[in-house]
Amino acid sequence: MLKDLLQDIDDTDIQGNRGRGLSSRPSPKYRIARSRNAPTISHVLCALLVATSCVSAFSHSFYLNGIGYREQELQVSKGTKFESEASTGVPWASFAGGTNIFIKGVGLADNPQSNDVIFYSHEFEREIPSFPLTEDDAFGSNTLLGMLAYRTPSIEDLFGVPMNTFDQYASLSFTISLISNNDLASDPMACGTASNCVIKYRKDHTPVIYYMMPPVMYYESYTEVWFDPKYTDDLIQDLEFDEMVFINTKVGGSLLDFEESVTHQTTYSSYNRNRARGQVGELPIGNHGISMMWETGKARVID
C-alpha cells in the first residue's frame, strides 16, 4: 500500500512556534499630581486600546495571497493560460518538476531563502517539507513586494521514492504554505482562499523524452530529440514569431539551436513520438544529461 510506504519517510518538524505572546513589561508607575501633563484614566485606556489594536494587527500579518505561473527563462509565458501571472493556483504541473511558479504573500522573511516551502498532499493527507529556494529562486524573488520565485521539485524528489511508486495516480494535488523564519520567530503562512494555493501535478501534462539520435554529439553537429509532449502543447497559444511550443532543450547545460527546423507554427502530436532537429553548441567532452523545458515544467526522461 502506497500510504504505508510513504509512512517510512522521515517526518520533519515543520511546526512553527505557535501561540507566542508578546512579552509584557510592567506598566510605568505615574505619580498623580495636579498637573495638566499628568496622565488620566482616559489616557491610559486609550493607550491600551491602541496597543490592543497593534497586537491584533501583528497577529494577522502573515498570510498568503496565492501561487501562480512565472515567466520561464529567456521566453515570455504564452497564451491566456500563462501570461497573467495571477495568484489563483497552478492547475498544470509536470510530474518531473521544474514548474516555474511564484508565491505571493504578506509577512515573508526578508531573506528569500529563510522562507520554508511546505506541500500538503491531498491524496496522502500529510505535510511534506519541500526543498529550499535555490540561489536562482532567491535572485528572482522580491520579498519587499511580497513575492517568492520557486521551481517545483519532481514528485520522486518530493516524496523520496521512485517515480514508478505513483504509477496508479494520474494526478497529485497539493496545497502550498510557508514558514517565514526571522531572527525572533517562525510564522506559518497559509492561504486565506485555499484554492489559490493549490498546485496539481498531471501526468497528461508531463512531456516525455525518449532518446536522442545520434547519441554521439560534438560542436555544431546535429541531433534529433525524440519526445512526446502529451497534452502540454495544447495549452500553448498565440506564439510570437521567434518562439517555439517548447521553451528549450539542453544537453549538459548547453542549449540546442532549433532555428532551422522549428518555428512558431510547428506542431506536434500528443501521445505520439515526435522529433525535433537541433544543432549542438559548445559541449565539454563526456557523458551529459538531457533536459527539455515546457511551460508546465520539465519533461520526464525515460531511461
Q: Which of 33-47, 82-96, 117-131 has the largest mean confidence?
A: 117-131
195 and 258: one domain?
Answer: no
CA gyration radius for the chain? 25
Separation CA 9–CA 129 (nearest Å): 11
Phi, psi of 214 (to 5 degrees): -75, 155
124 and 69: one domain?
Answer: yes
Cβ distance 189 to 251 under 8 Å? no
What confidence score (pLDDT) does residue 86 get? 80
Count of structural domains, the chain: 2
In a domain, 43, yes or no: no
Separation CA 89–CA 91 (nearest Å): 6
For residue range 148-191, list pLDDT tens digits in order.
999 999 999 999 999 999 999 999 999 999 999 988 889 999 99
**Lowest-confidence pick of 2-11, 28-37, 125-134:** 28-37
Q: Which three cell numbers stand for residue 288?
A: 551529459
The set of residues, in sequence order, having a beta carbon less than 8 Å from that of 21 and lying 6+ positions away, is none
In a domain, 101, yes or no: yes
**Lowest-confidence pick of 69-83, 180-194, 241-255, 273-287:** 69-83
In a domain, 279, yes or no: yes
In a domain, 193, yes or no: yes
153 and 229: one domain?
Answer: no
In a domain, 100, yes or no: yes
Q: What is the DSSP letter of 232?
A: G
117 and 152: one domain?
Answer: yes
What confidence score (pLDDT) does residue 98 get? 95
More confident residue, 121 or 283: 121
Q: What is the DSSP letter of 159?
A: H
**Lowest-confidence pick of 17-21, 57-61, 102-106:** 17-21
Taken as a whole, the chain contains a residue count of 303
**143 falls in which pLDDT band (50, 70, 90)?**
very high
What confidence score (pLDDT) does residue 29 get? 41
76 and 197: one domain?
Answer: yes
Asked whether residue 9 carries a pLDDT value surpassing 80, the answer given is no
143 and 167: one domain?
Answer: yes
105 and 186: one domain?
Answer: yes
CATH number at residue 85: 2.60.40.10
Phi, psi of 53 (to 5 degrees): -65, -40
| First-residue to last-residue Cα distance in the chain | 25
Domain termination residue (choose one: 183, 203, 223): 203
For the chain, percent of residues with pLDDT exceeding 70: 76
User: In which domain, by residue range, is 278 found?
Assistant: 208-301
Phi, psi of 104 (to 5 degrees): -110, 135
> CA torsion, points 188, 19, 17, 176, in degrees to nearest 10?
-20
CATH number at residue 225: 2.60.40
Cβ distance 101 to 132 under 8 Å? no
For residue range 205-222, list pLDDT tens digits in order.
999 999 999 888 888 899
Separation CA 5–CA 138 (nearest Å): 33
Separation CA 48–CA 107 (nearest Å): 25
66 and 177: one domain?
Answer: yes
216 and 139: one domain?
Answer: no
What confidence score (pLDDT) does residue 282 get? 85
Domain termination residue (choose one: 203, 233, 257): 203
259 and 159: one domain?
Answer: no
Q: Which three cell numbers stand for residue 29?
A: 508607575
> CA torsion, points 136, 292, 93, 130, in degrees to nearest 10?
-40
Average pLDDT of span 61-78: 75
What confidence score (pLDDT) does residue 20 get? 37
**44 falls in which pLDDT band (50, 70, 90)?**
very low
